[in-house]
Structure 1
C-alpha cells in the first residue's frame, strides 16, 4: 500500500508576508502535492484576502523544486477552456511538469454569480453538468492537440494553437471531482485521478461510519463508470479532500492514522489535508499537522494500515 499525503494551502496570505514560506515548508515536510483552491472568493473568506490560483501556483513553482502543485478544484463557473489551457501549458512549463489540474463542475457559491448580470440566476445543477460535459473534453483536446477548432453549445474554439503543449505527455493529469453519474463518467473517461470530499449531507449530523459507507458507495459508482468503458478502476487514482466529513482527523496523530487507514481500505491513494488556519473552519494544531506530514506516511505504508 502506498498512501500519499498532500495539502491544500488556501491563497489568503500575501506572497511576501508568509505566502512563499508556506509553499516551501510544504515541500520540506514531504507532502506529495500542494494544492490551492481556484475560486474568486470562498464562503467565510469572502471579505478577506484571497489571491488567484494560477499566479499563486506559478510563484510556488518558482519557489520550490520537487513538490507537485495543483488546483483543487477549477471549474467552468468563471473559466473558459481556451484561456485556461494556455495558462496551464505555461504553468506546466514553469514548474517543469509538476502540475495536476483538479477540476469539477463547480457549485452555487460566489463564483457562480460573479460574472452574471445583476438579477441573473446562476446555473442550475443540470446546467453546471451540461457546461462541464463540454468543458472537460474540449480542455483535454486543447492540451493534447496543436490546433483545435470546436463549435459547441456552450463553448467554441477557432483554430486555437497550443504549441508546444504540456511538459507532461500527453498532457498534465486531470483529477476530476465528481459524485453524480455524469461527472463520474467524465472522471472515468478523462481523469487520471478522481476527487471526492465525501457526502456533504453528512458533514454536520452524520457519523464517521455513515461517511465511510457513503464514500464506499461513491467508489462503487466510479467502478461502474469505468466498467462501462472497459477501464480498470485501479488505473484511476482516488483522492480524498478532508475537512468535509464528520471525522476529525487532525485532532491527534492517532486519529489521523486511524482515519487514513479506513479510507485506504476503500482504495484511496491520496489524502489531502488543509493547512491549519487559526480562527477559521480549518483551525487545527500545526504541530500535529506537521507530525502527520513527517511521520504518518511511513507508519501507514511500512507498518501496515490500522483498522
Structure 2
C-alpha cells in the first residue's frame, strides 16, 4: 500500500541576540575593582555557555524534526504473504470425466460437486472414499455449471456467462428455484454460514445476501498492491476465503475483511505427479472442500482421476522465481 507523506514541522530559529560585552570597549564608569572584573568575566563566560547550550538544543530539535519527517514520508513496508506447500495425507478416486467447478464437504464422508461443460454439467452427491456418484442432477445443455455451496439445506449453484443460478434441496436435488445475481459472471461460491461469497473470474470478491441474492459488499483482491484476477472456485476456511486462481497451481488465502492475500498455497506437485503417472488429459487444479468438524482439506481438478486430502505447511526454503509470475495470471478474455 502506498504510504502517506507525513507533514514536516520545522521550528523557527530564535531571533534573540546574545550580546557579549567587549572587554576592550571604553567604559563610561570608573575602573572596576579586581573582584568586579572577575565577576564580569564570569558573567561573560556564563553568557557564552548559555549561547552554546541554546544552539545545541535548537540543532537537536531540528535534527529530530528532520528525522521524523523522513520517517513519516517513507511508505510502510508491505507484509510478505506466507507461502505454503502441501503434504498429501490420503488419495481418493475421482471421476476423470468430471469437469469440476465446485466442491464441498457435507458430512459422513460425503461430497457435493458441481461439474461444467455444456451437455455435461451437473450437481452430484459423491462418496468420498470410493468416488461413486450416489445422486446426480443434470443441467440443460445451455447451462455451463460453475461454483457450488451449501447453506442450511439449500445448494446454490451459479452458471458461466450468465447471471442466473439454481437452488436445490440437498436431499433430493429437486431443482425448485432459480435466481439472478449481480456479479459480472458466475465462477465460484462459498459461505461462512451467513452470507455467500462469490467470484466472477475477475479480481473481485463479492458478499451476497442469500435471501435476496443482492451484492452487499464487493472487494478487490490484491497481493502487495497487485490485483489478483481469475479468481475461481471458493471455500471458506477458518475465517479466510480460499480461492483457486484459474490457470495456475495456486490457491490464494484471502482476508474477507479487506481482500488482502494473506498467503499462497503452492500445489504444483499434485498436477506434476498426475502427469508423470500418465494422466495426460487432465485440466487445471480446481476444487476445494473443507471438513470443518474433522479439520480436513480436500482438493482436486477438472478431469482429475484423483482427489487429495492435504495438510498445509509453511514453505521453509526459497522458491525460484517471483510469486507474482507463478500465481497471478495476466488477464485474458474468455
TM-score, with normalisation over the residues of structure 1?
0.27
Which structure has greater strand proportion?
A: 2
Which structure has greater helix proportion?
A: 1
TM-score, with normalisation over the residues of structure 2?
0.25
